[in-house]
Amino acid sequence: MKDLSREPAAAATQHKKLKGLSQRDFAASEAMSSTPMTPSSADPDDVSSAWMLAREGRPAFVFAHQDDETVLAGLMHRIVGDGQRGTFIWWTNGDGLAPAVGADPSAYASIRVAEATESLRALGADPAHKVDLWSSEIENYRKMTEVALPKRSKVALDYFRAEAGRLDAAIRRADPDRVFVLAWQGGHPEHDLVHLMTARTVRQLRRETGRPIPIIQAPAYEYVILCALRFKPWFRGDVRRFALSEEERAAKQRVFEAYPSQAALFEKFRWVIRGAGALSALRGKPFGTEVYLGTEQLGVVDPRQDYTASSHRLEALNYIRDDFEGTPIRFDTMIRPVAAALLAG
């Protein structure tokens, strides 16, 4: 298991067209400068950043792991920092790294879940609105590998149907008007699975209610962690970049500090960012870790997203170096069958 934009023109400081990809940059206050307009559909063109990041409504945040929220912690503070809104759902109990650190999985999970509660306090959010589903990462990985085994596939797929049902119930109780989740990215299988399960529920809610309920995704990493906290440059989808205010940066730092158990993992990401900054300096555009972390990316998911298709053209680029007890995790034989089963009904 691995250790580890669209907005009214007046609000945009920069608008670039790159191979069909629309990207926009926003200063800390700019996305909030216009009156939020409720979207008429879930299409990225109809979802303004002002509405998406407004301190109002019923946002839900759905994560696979405790610490996933660090990816968008600054913008989370912008939305929920007054403690008046938000439902925060964690699918797993975070026990996946316990064997690597020689810890008891149950005890390690309790530490991770408690850290996430402190993270919400660091954001200014209300921990009373936290939902822990306590799914075991270790068991999730075991079942992923069993999906690829003909004699065990049916039981494994039923397992993920049941997990999707538990997440479905939690999201429905939240009755969200928008949902934030990590990106469909091919970097971590549980990130992709929780995104898939969330999208399944949201699509059903759209049909049942007629409400748009946009899904907003935040990039975590892919290519191990070489592309960290950013959509890859050739990603063909909605990409919005937001500069964080000093208050939002401080909140983000507090969230990192809420996870002492993950300090070594965070340092790996900082090492990658420092390396990227050094390479960028060769092009005359150096940047430091704090500058990099002071910008966050989000994008509205296309409601027509095909979850039976990988985000990478080559299977070898999915979940690089990720395995369960020596069995590599694969999209084609493990994640795609789950997607097909869940989306079939």
Q: Which residues contact 211 (CB under 8 A, 6 or more apart)?
A: 177, 205
Q: Residue 102: its pLDDT value, please?
A: 96
Structural domain boundaries in the chain: 9-343
pLDDT over 50 at 7, yes or no: no
Give 114's pLDDT tier (boundaries 50, 70, 90).
very high
Q: Across residues 4-9, what is the average pLDDT?
A: 35
Whole-Å CA distances, 307 to 6, 152, 185? 23, 23, 11
Q: For the chain, give the mean pLDDT.
A: 90
| Whole-number Å distance between alpha carbons of 148 and 154 | 10
Distance CA 147, CA 158 (A): 10
Q: What is the 3-state secondary structure (H, E, C) of 163-187?
A: HHHHHHHHHHHHCCCEEEEECCCCC
pLDDT, one tens digit per residue, over 129-148 is 999 999 999 999 999 999 99
Please state, in angstroms and rounded to a whole number, the distance separating the CA atoms of residues 260 and 33: 36
CA 130 to chain centre: 16
Instruction: Quote the CA–CA distance of 5 and 216 in Å, as a whole number.
Output: 11
Question: Which class does domain 9-343 fall in?
Answer: alpha beta
Under 8 Å between Cβ of 26 and 5: yes
- Of 11, 8, 2, 3, residue with least CA distance to 242: 11
Q: What percent of the chain has pLDDT over 90?
A: 79
50-98 pLDDT per residue, tens: 999 999 999 999 999 999 999 999 999 999 999 999 999 999 999 999 9
Which of 15-19, 157-161, 206-210, 291-295 shows the lowest per-residue confidence on average (mean pLDDT)?
A: 15-19
Dihedral of CA 96/134/124/69: which sign? positive
Give Cα 330 to chain centroid, integer Å.
Answer: 20
pLDDT band, residue 15 (cuts 50/70/90)? very low
Query: Helix, strand, coil proportions of the chain in percent (round to 5)?
Result: 50, 15, 35
What's the confidence (pLDDT) of residue 34?
56
Give the bridge partners for 288, in sequence order. none
- Global pTM value: 0.89
From 114, 117, 109, 115, select the one nearest 139 (Cα to Cα).
109
DSSP secondary structure, 188-215, as one string: -HHHHHHHHHHHHHHHHHHHHH-----E
- The predicted-structure confidence for 169-200, as pLDDT tens digits, reads as follows 999 999 999 999 999 999 999 999 999 999 99
pLDDT digits (tens, 9 = 90+) for 146-170: 999 999 999 999 999 999 999 999 9
pLDDT at residue 36 in the model: 78
Please give the C-alpha separations between residue 228 and each of 65, 139, 270, 332, in angstroms, as whole numbers. 16, 26, 9, 23
Residues recorded for the chain = 345
pLDDT tier at 284 (50, 70, 90 boundaries)?
confident
DSSP string, 71-118: GGHHHHHHHHTTSSS-EEEEEE-SGGGHHHHT--HHHHHHHHHHHHHH
pLDDT higher than threshold 50 for residue 13: no
Q: Report pLDDT digits (tens) over 268-277.
A: 877 778 777 7
Decide if pLDDT at 208 tops 90: yes
